[in-house]
Structure 1
């Protein structure tokens, strides 16, 4: 595999390539209803049982969200729709959505505030949704929550991670007093150092929830910079800016090789790390991201052997 050869030559050992493959194996990936509609057969693209997040972008009808979730569930995937608190009008609407997802075979959800500036109605945060007790009552056994290693200006206007991290401590306590299986999934980043430092701070604060690190899939550099700016990616955007100044690499597609190599090395050096998994944002296309991740993790070889 070309990527593993490059990774090994960069890191200097075959073990590095194996570390990366082990870290990427079991990855999750994100789709939207409109991007999912372009994939004729997910079972030919993704390893069996892959967790597929369905992103709920503002303006997407709930009918489209449920239809996409139902399709993926029936194709044998673990489906995790986004539930953006600020886009949900009230408790009754949340209950209706959860019942519809449950009827479609879904028992997982990613809870987040959502990207809207003002709430549509009753909810402003994922914590407020969790406090309703609806997830437990309606059989949602796994709940993931959002993490922001480089901060989120909507939550911490000063650029820190203080309020967002305090919210994760609350969610840790929620996990301990309920039977929910929980994990943190982060915004995508391009430099592993702030992600690793953040994970250590959380662990020192008593958080034990596993962290699934957001990884930007292969894409044109211009595309990634656009998404990074619109999504509020923090200091690690400098990785892209430095690359843009290198004329030799400007026109080459970005691949998250170095980012993953650093995360994998950290996990190998620190077995107690909260960082456990890669979650792909397919900014350059679902097919491109999945094929790349499959090659890196060895899923292509495993599927062929099976």
Structure 2
């Protein structure tokens, strides 16, 4: 007789039941796609609430034509596209002006995420998001909402010594820009896995006079191995230990990781501290946008439920 007949049933996935606090935090969440992943979705209206902000990641080598086409499609389907502008792959002012004009003309974008970009050597004149803002081209074109990077766990590309002196200096500049401009600004962060890290960071920023709201990056449901791979590649810091600890538990190793625990902790904190800088959640759908969207809906993250959240993509 096979020993397989005596195997214990796999434990249920690690989930946290939705609460009114979690539903409140999930209202207005955003999610991220790339042109090549967007192509796999037949209709975003089957997955996301109408009006959802959808960031479009611009990876080095992605043609601007594909980026603009994705933004135009999302707009046509009733969503609010927010394309990335990675400074280090934009060659010059003329290129930047052309990109903005195309996004405005073909997809009616009024918002953008400005980043340095994950490229070691700049392709041209720009190396930071601050330089992009200083051109004045976004304001001139009517792009009124600008999100910039926030780093709850630091960023070794900016501060190689593991500190945060340069990150803090850049953040103060961005706060000053918000103070002296009409731009609606917010900090969009890399994903992390520990609520305490995010809360401590947000409290520290507020104490230092930063008022920019935080749109906190959270990884959507995915295989544990997938999350660990992306976390290492993206430079996730201290909170990576949450995944490493889980990986040591063989009963959980093969189960999908879901963000219920961190979301529950963040929601409870936000409910108790409504003036926290943590304003919204931004999902990185590392396990697939359909999986992420269904999790968000199940946990209250939809003001209107999509027509068919179980649609195949």
Q: TM-score range by the shorter chain?
A: over 0.9
User: Residues 188-212 of structure 1, C-alpha deviation per residue, up to 9 Å, x if partnerless?
Assistant: 0001111111111111111111101
- Paired residues, number: 294
Q: Residue 175 of structure 2 aligns with which residue?
A: 172
Structure 1: gaps spanning 5 or more residues? 9-15
Q: Residue 287 of structure 2 aligns with which residue?
A: 284
Report if aligned partners of 2:222, 2:256 keep a CA contact under 8 Å in 1. yes
Q: Residue 239 of structure 2 aligns with which residue?
A: 236
Separation (CA, whole Å) in 2 of partners of 1:167 and 1:160: 13
User: Residues 134-155 of structure 1, C-alpha deviation per residue, up to 9 Å, x if partnerless?
Assistant: 0111110110011110011111
User: Could you state the TM-score of these two structures normalised by the residue count of structure 2?
Assistant: 0.91
Spell out structure 1 runs of 4+ moving beyond 3 A: 300-304
User: Residues 156-205 of structure 1, C-alpha deviation per residue, up to 9 Å, x if partnerless?
Assistant: 11212231122122111111111111111100000111111111111111
Look at both structures and tell me which one has the larger radius of gyration over its CA atoms: 2
Counting helix residues as a fraction of each chain, which structure ranks higher? 1
Q: Residue 54 of structure 1 aligns with which residue?
A: 56
Q: Residue 29 of structure 2 aligns with which residue?
A: 27
Report if aligned partners of 2:49, 2:304 keep a CA contact under 8 Å in 1. no
SS in 2 for 1:53: strand
Post-superposition offset of 1:18 = 1.3
Post-superposition offset of 1:7 = 2.5
* Higher relative contact order (Cα pairs below 8 Å, separated by 6+ residues): 2
Which among 69, 73, 76 is matched to residue 74 of structure 1?
A: 76
Q: Does 1:134 align with 2:137?
A: yes
Q: Residue 252 of structure 2 aligns with which residue?
A: 249
Q: Does 1:125 align with 2:134?
A: no
Seen in structure 2, the aligned counterparts of structure 1 residues 181 and 275 have a Cα distance that, compared at 3 Å, is same
Separation (CA, whole Å) in 2 of partners of 1:159 and 1:288: 34
Q: Residue 90 of structure 2 aligns with which residue?
A: 88
Separation (CA, whole Å) in 2 of partners of 1:219 and 1:161: 30
After TM superposition, the structure 1 stretch with the greater mean CA deviation from structure 2, 69-78 or 110-119, is 69-78
Post-superposition offset of 1:22 = 1.2
Report if aligned partners of 1:148, 1:161 keep a CA contact under 8 Å in 2. no
Post-superposition offset of 1:303 = 5.2
Report if aligned partners of 2:89, 2:123 keep a CA contact under 8 Å in 1. yes
Separation (CA, whole Å) in 2 of partners of 1:161 and 1:216: 23
Separation (CA, whole Å) in 2 of partners of 1:299 and 1:60: 31
Post-superposition offset of 1:301 = 7.1
User: Residues 259-280 of structure 1, C-alpha deviation per residue, up to 9 Å, x if partnerless?
Assistant: 1111111111211100011100
Report if aligned partners of 1:30, 1:282 keep a CA contact under 8 Å in 2. yes
RMSD: 1.6
Which among 6, 12, 16 is matched to residue 7 of structure 1?
A: 16
